[in-house]
A and B are shown apart, each in its own frame.
Chain A
Amino acid sequence: MPPSHVYLRDNIAAKGNPFGAPAKARAEWAQGLNLPSNGECFFFAGCGYQFMDRAETWLKAVRGLEKRGLPVERVLGVSKTLKKVGVDLAGVYGKLAGSGKTTAYINALISAVNVLRKLGVNPAYLYDKEPCCGSPLYSSGFEEDFAENARRTYRLLKSLGVRKLISLVPACTHTLRNLYPRYVDGFDLEVRHFLEEVAGRLKNAGIQPALKEEMELTFHDPCQLARFLGITQEPREILSRVRNLRLREVTSTSRERTTCCGGGGGVEFTFPELSGMLAEERMKELLETKASVIATHCPACLLQLREARERMRAQVQVLDIAQVLDKALRGG
């Protein structure tokens, strides 16, 4: 068993998120948004977007060390030992590397809320009560832990009066929508993906999103979004409504034949260097479109592509589609 998968499981058990971040950090992004904490329709932000800045520094550290010959298992061993005596390796590395906190993932969340509000949805938010859906438990093979977590999560959501979730992270959405019913008796929550909700509302809203300056953009379909949820038309429909935006498709590797960014199946934690190489390969395909912006919609894809761009010194912006739409809805 790769120790990295065990590490993720232990973090979910101990901290309620795969990255071992302090639980109170979860809702920091929502400060100042005044999202209601009660309601029927809830915004499900997901661990990925909320903690990915931390995962990014951690992965950077691990990739750097692996290149210098220290395999990830050893790093995990060291990091666990350090944790026991109160030293947080990701935190330390983040400070050393001077990267500090990145706002890329958090901005995607804020934009998503802005977009929903503009389209007439004011969702509630669970703040630091938002549970981890347990997707990594499932894909790592910890079925019992997953089932237990799913039942607990469902009970919690029900007790908080949740009836509908608007979920962002494709993996969370797939897990909640398609896997939970297999493990939770009588599962009755409506799980909508953010892009489904937005595409539907935008069509009927009579608003024309517009950018001030022309933007050439390519869309990177996340695996889970395109192949597990079958959502490929919605992002294109949304983008086609934005004035001054030109969509440049990656010819043979878009939609259901999209190429994985390398951040899937836990490979990013088990083979960090390989995963980085895969991100660069995908980046090359995307760069062939000559677009100046790569939009996607998955925290892992964002992380992988951001990192690849940095290593390759590529002149391209990597954004979440929510950020692009938010901008266009504000008039560019």
Chain B
Amino acid sequence: MDPQETFAKEYRARLMQAARDEKIKRALSRAIASFRKNVDTALSAFPHTVKLTREVRRIKEESVERMEELVEAAATSVRKAKGEAYLAKDGREAEKIIGELVGSGKLVVKSKSLTGEEIELRQYLERRGNQVYETDLGEFIVQQLDIKPMHILNPSIHVPREAVAEMLRKLTGEEVPPDIAEEVQVVRRLLRGKFFEAHVGISGANVVSADTGSLFILENEGNARLATGAPPKHIALVGMEKVVPTLQDAWKVAEVTWRYAGYAAPSYLNMITGPSKTGDIEKAITYGVHGPRELHVVFLDNGRLNFSRHPVLKEALYCLRCGNCLYECPVFSLTAGYFGDRYFGGIGAVWAAIVSGDIYGEEFYRAIPLSYTCLTCGRCKVRCPVEIDVPEMIVELRKLAVRRFLEKPPS
């Protein structure tokens, strides 16, 4: 059987198995109810956010239009701040750059990065003989259970507390009660030392300003703060579409992102411009005080530039990864991330196409069964802060699939 057929068949089997799994449905229905409530509360407390979304849409439109130039400018700004910047054409190139920066036999702490998932960075670094710890709690659980993350905000959304307790018992050899607060304390103890022993910290970024080269990383746990602050070397992997023209723009994008993720403000907003430095002794700038001495920013293309020129599918690059669409998707509510590939839901189908590099590329077929799983019902679009038209993109994907795989249909 050719890989396309195998993929479609296995995808279907996984999807249906998930749909029949009552546990997934139960876990998600709780999460969906509380997420929607949180977002509604955040939006009604800060009603200007809705107006701000229109500005953010415009910022993203402009940024995607000028992607290449803005990434260039951001790279220059990063270097000006004494960081290093790289442009990786695809996942393999990004792995190579980061692989060389990390080396082997190192201890690495990683905060959540969807772009990292996209290229399976952790697995790559592990294969090169490094010990890598996911430090976001959800990612940590997913890593330890060796399963696939199921949601962009809550990767372990489908794992109940009992399963977490069991995993921690195996990991520590101690009895851990199925109590969420206790579980969190166990993980805190486990990772505490790792942050300070680690040679390298790896993160993504929610948005990057081209004019100052500043990385914005939003989080609540404090793990990104530690992972990007404690080790001597910080490497950030950033999708090209995350770069916006100015610091002011980045603030707006960041505010809309966290508000639509259901927060008045996140516990932590890390804004990182260059490595740690001091000028306190004789005004001589010296790097690597308490934070990292080195900052490396790797901008990832992996199909983004190509698809930024597609009149319909470029909209997917406006995505803020706030997660609202997933909580609106009826299929997702039954199947979680099994409706998806690297990214999830209807927009995940488009991202499967993007990261395949090209509609005539080898891996484009992965987007097809996903696109035919979308109901094109459009509820995601109603809630999307930047009004991404998923149904329209899904139909476009299907058109491309017909053109590529069925070419001239029989008359």
Contact = CB atoms under 8 A, between A and B. Distances in A.
Nearest to A253: B379
B372 interface: yes
A142 interface: yes
Contact of B398 (A13, A140, A257, A260): A140
A145 B330 contact: no
A140 B398 CA distance: 6
10 contacts: A2-B372, A13-B411, A140-B398, A141-B397, A142-B409, A143-B402, A145-B409, A273-B16, A278-B334, A281-B334
Interface in B10-27: 12, 15-16, 19
B368 interface: yes
Nearest to B377: A260
A259 B372 contact: no
Contacts, number: 99
Contacts of A278: 330-331, 334, 375
B379 A258 contact: yes
Contacts of B402: 1, 140-143
Interface residues of A, number: 37
A297 to B, nearest CB: 16
Contacts of A260: 330, 375, 377, 379
A140 B375 CA distance: 11
Interface of A: 1-2, 5-6, 9, 13, 71, 138-145, 223, 227-228, 252, 256-260, 262, 264-267, 270-271, 273-274, 277-278, 281-282
A252 B40 CA distance: 11
Interface core residue of B16, B378, B409 (most chain A CB under 10 Å): B378
Given A140-B398, A273-B19, A227 B375 contact: no
B377 A223 contact: yes
Contact of A265 (B36, B374, B381): B374
A227 B372 contact: no
B409 A9 contact: yes
A267 B409 contact: no
Nearest to B405: A1
Nearest to A266: B372
B399 interface: yes
Interface core residue of B376, B382, B401 (most chain A CB under 10 Å): B376
Interface residues of B, number: 38
B12 A71 contact: yes
A271 B16 contact: yes
Nearest to A263: B375
A264 B395 contact: no
Contacts of B36: 252
Contacts of B381: 227
A234 B369 CA distance: 37
Nearest to B404: A1
Given A223-B375, A265-B377, A141 B401 contact: yes
Contacts of A267: 331, 372-375
A180 to B, nearest CB: 15
Contact of A138 (B373, B374, B395, B401): B395
Contacts of A5: 372, 398
B138 to A, nearest CB: 25
B250 interface: no
B401 A223 contact: no
B395 A139 contact: yes
B210 interface: no
B406 interface: yes
A253 B395 CA distance: 24
